[in-house]
Structure 1
C-alpha cells in the first residue's frame, strides 16, 4: 500500500476552521466519519484523547500527528489538514500547529499498513516537504508532493543500503574514521513517533558525519534489530523510548536514555552525548543507580510503577475469578449448593482468587529485579496468603499488605544480590540466573517472610479484618464515602486503583463484599453522570459529546469508569469535582444501608447478587443524578457561532 492510498483526497481539509485543539480534533474526526473511514466517532475520539493524555502529538515545527488504532477504523487512512492561522495544539515546542496528519489504523492492521504509516512519519522530518505542504492549495498538490518525497527517500535508502553493504564487504570497516553509534526508538502506540525519531536521528547523524544504526520497536514489531557485534562496536547507545525495550544487551555501554520526543526534537544533543561518551555507563547486572541507568524518574514514581506492574498483572485474576464466582452464586439460587454446576463455577473462581497475592507480589518483584525476582516474589506472596507460613503460628495470613511487602522485598533482594555477586568471575555468569539468584533469592526472601513479615502482618491483618467485620455504622459510612470519592478522583489512576485494591484486600480477607459495593458504585457514577448531563443539558454539549454521552450509559452500568475520561480531560475541574461528590454520596449510602455485593466486578449486572438489590440500584442512581445535575448546571452553555 503506497502513500497515495493512505492520503486519499476525500479525507483532506485544506482550510481547517478550528481555533483550538479540541475543535481541531472534532473537525478531523467528523471528516473521517463523513467519508466512512470510521464508523464510531466516540470510540475513535476516546482513543485519540487517551494518546494525547500520554503526551501531546503536536511534535513541533508546526506539525501535529494525532493517531489511534481501534475497532472503529474501517481502513488505514491519513487525514491531511491545513490551518492558515495556526492552532495552539500544546505542541512540544510551544508553537502553533499548521499541518495536521490524523492517522487512523484498523485494529489488527497488517504490516503493509504499518509500513506505509511509518514511511509517512519519516518523510515529515524533511523541512522542504513541510514548507511546500504549508503552501499547497489542492489535494492533488498534496499527493504529488508526497509522491516526489517518497521517491527521493527510496533512492536515498537504496544508496544507504549499498553503502552499508560495501562496509560489510570491506575488511577495513573497523578502520573507518567516522564515529559509530546505535540507537533504539519506541513510542507507546508505535505508529508515528517511533519512526519520526528514527528519521531525525539518521538525518542528523549524516549531517554530523556519524555512522548510526537505529532499531525501531513499533506496532509492526522490532525492525533493524541491533546485533551484539554492532552494539559492541558502538561508542555509545541512544534509547529514545516511552515504553520498555530490551536493555540488558547494553550492559557496560555509555547509554543516553531519553523520551522519544527528544529523539525527534533534540537528535544532535543525543548524538553528541553518545559519541563523546558523556552519558552514564549502563549496568544491567547490578543495582543500577538512577544516574547509572539515565533514568530521571523520582523515587515515588518508581514505587508507583512497581506497584502498578503488580496490580495490572493481578487484575485479570480478579475479574476472571470474580465473575465466575458471581455466576456460581447466581446458579446456586436456582440449583442449590450441591449442584455440580455451582461447585464447578465456584471452585474455578476460587482457584483464580488464590493466585491474587502471589501474582501481585511476583510482578512487583519483577518490576524491581527483573526475571530473577519472579520466583522469590511468587513464593513470598504465596507465604503471605497462608495462615501458617511463619515462625509464629497464627490463624490469620499476612494478607494483601504482607504480599505487597513480599514483592518489594524479593525485588530488592535480587537487586542486592546482583550488586554483591558482581565480584564473581565471569565464568560463573551462566550460573547466576539458573542457580545462584533463584536459590539465594528464595532463601533470603523466605527467611524474611517467615521470621519477620508474616508474624507481624498476620497480627496486623487480623486486626484489620476484625475492624472491618465489627465496624460501626459511622465508621463504615466514612470509609465507604472515602473509597467512593477515590474512585472518581482520577478515574483509573493511582487513587482509583488504591481504592479498588483496598476493597479487593478486604474482600479476600473477610469474604465480604460490603466495601466492593462502595467502590463499584463510586466507579459507576462518573460515566453515568456524564450521560445524564449530556441528556438533559443538550445545549451545553457538542453533537459528538452528546453521542458519547449515550455510550456512557452502557459504560457506567458496566463499571467502566474510564468512559468519563475524555470529558474530564476537556473540563477537569467541573467533571472531577461533580463526580467526586456523587461517588462519595453513593459509596457512603452503600455502607449506611449495609449493602453487600459478593463480586469484584460486573456493575449493574451483578445486581441479583446484592443482599439489597433495590438499595444497591438506588445508591447508583442517587450518586449519578447528584453528579449529573451538578455538572449539567455548572457547565456553561456553548458559545453561539
Structure 2
C-alpha cells in the first residue's frame, strides 16, 4: 500500500472559503494521485457524512472524512487555510483541514487513521509544527509520524548546523541539570510537588525526595466515548493522559470507540484510586467501576479541561466519595467469590447470561405463539395435523389459512431453544459464542432435551469459547481465530457433549418434569400457581418475572404441549396482568391517595394490564415499593392459585384479554384475574390510607401548617422512603 499522505497531497495555501470548496480542492489532489476514481461521487459521500454530524474540532481543526467505493486505498490530504473555514466546531472556523478517505468497507483502516490523527491533534507541538512548516514534504512526514514535531518546528531555520552550534554554545556544563529544552534548569520552587515530572526517577542528590519516591502514585482509570466513536473519543483520551502525566498521576484509558474496545483488566480497575468518565454515550459495562470515586462528564470536558478532572478525581478520593455505593455493595466480595472482568459475583454473571438468552428468545415466543393461537381460533385444534401448505394451499379456504398461520408459528417455535442457547453463549463470550450456542441448542431440540437442554448447551458453549480465548496464539493466526478456529473447535466440543455425554440425561429430566406437570392436581397445582404468581409480581418484568415466564413458555413451545404446561401458561399470564390492573383500580376508587401523575398513569395501566404488560405497575412500585409490591404479590398469588384450581389452560404465550377466546374455562379465568386485582387494589388502598393517617397525626400539632398540607409528588416519595 502507498504511503497515507505524500507531499503532493499537501496544500499549504488552501484557497477556499467553504467546507465544500475545501473538500473539492483536496479531493482533486487525491484524484490526481490516483487515490480517488470519481471526484463527484467521492464528494457526495463526504457531504453525506458531513450531514450526519459536523466534523469540526476545537482548536481550529476540520476533519471531513468518509468511506467511499470511489477510493482505492486509505488516503489523507491536508490543507492549511489563511482565511479559516467553518466546519461546525463550537470554538469557530478551522485553519487546519484534514480530508480522510477510506475504501468502502475498510472500517479498520478508516478508524485507525482517524483515531491516530485525533490523538496527535491534542499535541500542541504537533499542530504548532503544522502551522509553522513551509515544506509540504515535511508536513507529510509529520502527519505520517516519520518526523518529530519538535524537529519540524525548527524547519524555518536555513542552517541546521548553525542551530546545532547555537545549542551547543548554550549547553550547560557536565553535571549541571537541564530543563526540557536542553538549557540550564531553573531551581524548583519550594511549593512544587516532588515526583510530578517525567525525570523524577533521576537521583536528586539529596535524601529529601526519598519518601515521595517510595510512595505509591495516585492511580486513575478513565473511559472516553462519543456518539461517532472516532475523533473526540481518542482526543479526550490523549488529553487526559497528558494532564495526568503532568500531575504525576498514573492514568489508563479505555477508549470505547467505533472500532470496538478492549476492557481494562479487572486488576487495573481494582487498583485504581478514582475513575473519570468522559462520555456522550452510555459507558458500556459501567458496573465494573462501582464503588470508586467517580468524575462523570461529557467527552468535550475531557478534551478542554483534563487537569481539572484529574484534580477533581483526587479531591473526591481524598474525601472518600464513592459514586456507586449500591452497585459496590452488591458486588462486594471477600475474595472467595469468582469474579469476571467486570467484578461481578458468579451468581450475578450467571443471571445476566441467562437473561440475555431469555430476552432474545421472548420475541420468537410471542410471534410463534400468537400465530399458533390465531390458527386455532380460525381452524380449531385439529389444524395441527393439516398437510404442509407448501403442498396444499387453497386461497379461498379458511382451513388453508389457519394451517398456514399454524405452520408459520410452528417454524418460529423451532428457533426457541437454539436462540436461547446461542444468546446465552453470546452473553458469556460475545459473538464467538453464537455458533456453538446455536449448534448446541439445535441438538437439544433433536434429542428432545427441550428448554433445560438449551440452557445447558448455551452455558457449555460459552464456557468452551471462553476457555479457547484464554490461549495465546501467534499474531498470524489471530485473524482466522473468530472466523474458523473458534467456531470449528467449540462446535465440535459442544456437539460431542450434547449428543453422547449430557444430552440424554437432560432429555430424561425434561421428560420427568413434563410427566410431573401432567400429574399435578389439587393442592400441588394450587401451590405451583401461588409460586408462579408471586414470581410474576415480584419485580414486574425483571429477572424473577422473566424466569417464571420463560418456564411457562418453554412448556408450550412444542408441537403438542401437555395439559399441565397449558395450565402453567394460563396461570403465569393471569398473575402478570394483576399488578397494573390493581393500580388502575386503586387510582379510580381512591384517587386522593395518589399524586396527579400517578392518577394519569393509572389510566394507562388499564390498557397495559389488559394486554399482559406487567411493567405498567412500575411507576407505582418505584414511588412506593413497600406498599405496592407486597400488595401485587398477594393478588398475583391468589390469581395464580385460582387459575390452576379452575383448570384454566392457554396456548398463546401473550395477548392478555385479547386471547380469552383461546383460554380453557374463560369465565373462571377472568374471575381469577378479577379476584387478584380486587385484593391487590384493596391492600394498596388500605396501606396508603394508614400512611395518610399517620402523616396527618404527625402534622396535627403543627396546626395544619401550609407547607405540610401541600406536600405532594417528590416530597411524598421522600416521606415514604423515610
- What TM-score, normalized to structure 2? 0.54
Question: What does residue 525 of structure 2 align with?
Answer: 476
1:154 to 85, 91, 104: 91
1:340 CA displacement: 1.1
1:542 CA displacement: 1.4
Superposed CA offset, 1:390-448 (max 9, x none): xxxxxxx11111110110101111111222x42x4332223322222122111111111
Question: What does residue 184 of structure 2 align with?
Answer: none
2:404 to 341, 344, 354: 344
When residues 585 and 257 of structure 1 are mapped into structure 2, their CA distance, relative to the original with a 3 A threshold, is closer
When residues 577 and 293 of structure 1 are mapped into structure 2, their CA distance, relative to the original with a 3 A threshold, is closer
1:561 CA displacement: 0.6
Matched, 1:458 2:507: yes
Query: CA–CA distance in 2 between the matches of 1:568 and 1:414?
Result: 40
When residues 205 and 572 of structure 1 are mapped into structure 2, their CA distance, relative to the original with a 3 A threshold, is farther
Query: CA–CA distance in 1 between the matches of 2:475 and 2:530?
Result: 57
2:289 to 258, 261, 277: 258
Query: CA–CA distance in 2 between the matches of 1:174 and 1:602?
Result: 70
User: Mind listing any 5+ residue stretches in structure 2 that lack a counterpart?
Assistant: 1-48, 59-87, 97-120, 130-141, 153-179, 181-196, 199-219, 263-270, 298-307, 315-335, 387-398, 696-707, 711-722
User: Mind listing any 5+ residue stretches in structure 1 that lack a counterpart?
Assistant: 1-109, 120-150, 229-235, 248-255, 273-288, 388-396
Superposed CA offset, 1:460-491 (max 9, x none): 11100000111122111100111011011111
When residues 427 and 546 of structure 1 are mapped into structure 2, their CA distance, relative to the original with a 3 A threshold, is same
Superposed CA offset, 1:357-392 (max 9, x none): 1000011111212222211111111111123xxxxx
Question: What does residue 185 of structure 1 align with?
Answer: 224
> Which of 1 and 2 has higher RCO (CA within 8 Å, sep 6+)?
1
1:414 to 465, 471, 489: 465
1:226 CA displacement: 8.8
Query: CA–CA distance in 2 between the matches of 1:447 and 1:227?
Result: 33
Question: What does residue 432 of structure 1 align with?
Answer: 481
Matched, 1:561 2:614: yes
1:184 CA displacement: 4.0
Question: What does residue 576 of structure 2 align with?
Answer: 523
Query: CA–CA distance in 2 between the matches of 1:382 and 1:175?
Result: 63
Query: CA–CA distance in 1 between the matches of 2:416 and 2:658?
Result: 23
Question: What does residue 311 of structure 1 align with?
Answer: 358
When residues 173 and 474 of structure 1 are mapped into structure 2, their CA distance, relative to the original with a 3 A threshold, is farther
Cα contact 1:487–1:519 (8 A) shared by 2: yes
Matched, 1:321 2:368: yes
Cα contact 2:536–2:575 (8 A) shared by 1: yes
Matched, 1:640 2:709: yes
Matched, 1:571 2:547: no
When residues 155 and 435 of structure 1 are mapped into structure 2, their CA distance, relative to the original with a 3 A threshold, is same
Question: What does residue 538 of structure 1 align with?
Answer: 591
1:460 counterpart SS class: helix
Question: What does residue 268 of structure 1 align with?
Answer: 310
Cα contact 1:197–1:261 (8 A) shared by 2: no
Cα contact 1:317–1:352 (8 A) shared by 2: yes
When residues 605 and 114 of structure 1 are mapped into structure 2, their CA distance, relative to the original with a 3 A threshold, is farther
When residues 526 and 112 of structure 1 are mapped into structure 2, their CA distance, relative to the original with a 3 A threshold, is farther
Query: CA–CA distance in 2 between the matches of 1:152 and 1:370?
Result: 37
When residues 626 and 292 of structure 1 are mapped into structure 2, their CA distance, relative to the original with a 3 A threshold, is closer
1:568 CA displacement: 0.6
1:503 CA displacement: 0.9
What pairs with 1:42-191 in structure 2 (closer than 5 Å)? 154=91, 163=124, 165-166=127-128, 169=143, 171-173=147-149, 184-185=223-224
Query: CA–CA distance in 2 between the matches of 1:413 and 1:449?
Result: 13
1:243 CA displacement: 5.8
When residues 381 and 566 of structure 1 are mapped into structure 2, their CA distance, relative to the original with a 3 A threshold, is same
Cα contact 1:290–1:296 (8 A) shared by 2: no
- What TM-score, normalized to structure 1? 0.61
Cα contact 1:398–1:453 (8 A) shared by 2: no
1:154 counterpart SS class: coil
Question: What does residue 441 of structure 1 align with?
Answer: 490
Question: What does residue 343 of structure 2 align with?
Answer: 296
Cα contact 1:205–1:268 (8 A) shared by 2: no
Question: What does residue 378 of structure 2 align with?
Answer: 331
2:709 counterpart SS class: coil
Cα contact 2:276–2:296 (8 A) shared by 1: no
Superposed CA offset, 1:133-155 (max 9, x none): xxxxxxxxxxxxxxxxxx99626
Query: CA–CA distance in 2 between the matches of 1:246 and 1:206?
Result: 25
Query: CA–CA distance in 1 between the matches of 2:682 and 2:451?
Result: 38
Give the greater-gyration-radius structure (CA).
2
Cα contact 1:597–1:611 (8 A) shared by 2: yes
